[in-house]
Amino acid sequence: METVLPQDIKGILFDLDGTLYRMKWFMKPLFAVMLFPDSLMLPRYMKIRKEFAGREMGNGERLLQAMAEKLSLQCSKDVQHTVSWIHNRFYKAFDSIMPLLRGSRPGINNTLAGLKKKGYKLAVVSDFAHISQRLAGLGIDHSLFDRLISSEEEGSLKPCHRCLATIADSWNIKPLEMVVIGDRSDTDGGAASNAGMHFIKIFEKNPAYAHSFSWTDVQQYLNNLPAIAIP
Angle at which helix 108-117 crosses helix 215-224, to 10 degrees, equals 30
How open is the CA angle 42-47-48, to the nearest 5 degrees?
100
Residue ranges, comma separated, of all CATH 3.40.50.1000 domains in the chain are 11-23+103-224
Least confident window among 5-19, 37-51, 193-207: 193-207
SS3 179: strand
Work out the mean pLDDT of the chain and round it to a whole number.
Answer: 93
Domain 11-23+103-224 fold: Rossmann fold (3.40.50)
Q: The whole model's pTM is what?
A: 0.94
Q: In what order do the strands lie in the sheet with 178-182?
A: 147-150, 121-126, 11-14, 178-182, 198-203, 213-214
Check whether 2 has a pLDDT greater than 50: no
pLDDT in tens, 153-200: 999 999 999 999 999 999 999 999 999 999 999 999 999 999 999 999
